[in-house]
Structure 1
């Protein structure tokens, strides 16, 4: 371990670090498993969004949705408990996941957005609250930094964004969203659903999380037994909500994601 990292964790944890193991974390931060001299084992996450993530984890935890417990945080560093991982989800585990997300989404805000902006590395996430959901999705998500995109994709997005008042509900409940709910951020332990990690929270339409969960994987059998029956129109709106994470991947990782963005635009009718 580096002296600076180990010392920072020790100061924040209040105990010396005896072992620091790098973990495969996000592409945008450094993650370690820290074994302390007092026999605790914590997950340490460093990066500019550490304290923002701590606030989000506390918000998720308050709803009863399982997630890591924040032990301590400071500028650039978050210490939290570790969730079990490596299990294979059953239908019963998926139902437990659905029930947990239903509790998360039942926590509602007064408007769409979040008190602070966020970022996926160099990609900003604009969260200034708005009262109109289609306008929020257009301005804060699909058209955010649209000038950085290839001109043909930008034109299609602008055309689609103009149609959002006819395609999205004007005022769905402002659910507390995980905000980055791809399959890798849902953990399964030996006893079933373990919890969610790596949030990018804001308040919005609950279907945003469900669309993300289906983007790079599939929602397992049993999920809606726990979550509740989906709106019959959800599948029609899914590509509109999947466009945002696809655009983030395009900005972060390059043209390999242009085909995904193109496909979702076509599915959305643009």
Structure 2
């Protein structure tokens, strides 16, 4: 259980670092690029210490999908942070589990339990409740908002599907190599998005100004370290705790902590519609794992 607790702490630390970058008006996509670059270095060292590097076909194929998802998701995360705050943003990210779940039902003929179907329906209902209203930050609705939210959910769901496929088709000793390759792939994607960042982030500060102050680089470094460390602790936790126990605890704790931090630290205020979405999402995430 301590391993799972450490995973939750660093997972929440990653989430809150993204909010710091947006709230302080840093060059958000510079911060994201630093995050993935540092994460790639740390993950490579982790894989080396665990006996890597070795790659099989599932590691390369599904790691590439996961890495693209990691970096591409940051566009949707930024636009949601501006509009809805950190709590709602990371609840929506958790809801992307509906994509691999629906894929398994439609394409692979899986038959979920009645409880899982109920959880899935609750999660689907919660999505428009969470992302529709101008709730916490009341930022301007970019023309990229709805396409980015939809694309973020599809891409993140594809990443989850890739992770599941890797677990099914490869071996546990390849997990560090999978994480490493995922982050290595994420770096060029993050740099490409950084080059186009002015299309997404209004009033992007000049690069010279961002590099002259420690805040953006330090925030990116914290994000990168949290990113890799939380994954390492999750891998270790799942070796001793069944997923049916670990994932409901991890999901509930992460959602509650990020939402509480948004309300307490950044004074994010949500209306009753959003709180109904939070409740439906939280209930669905827990129920679908049983």
Q: TM-score range by the shorter chain?
A: under 0.3
Higher gyration radius (CA): 1
Greater RCO (Cα-Cα under 8 Å, separation 6 or more): 2
Name the one with the larger strand percent.
1
Q: Taking structure 1 as the reference length, what is the TM-score of the superposition? A: 0.25
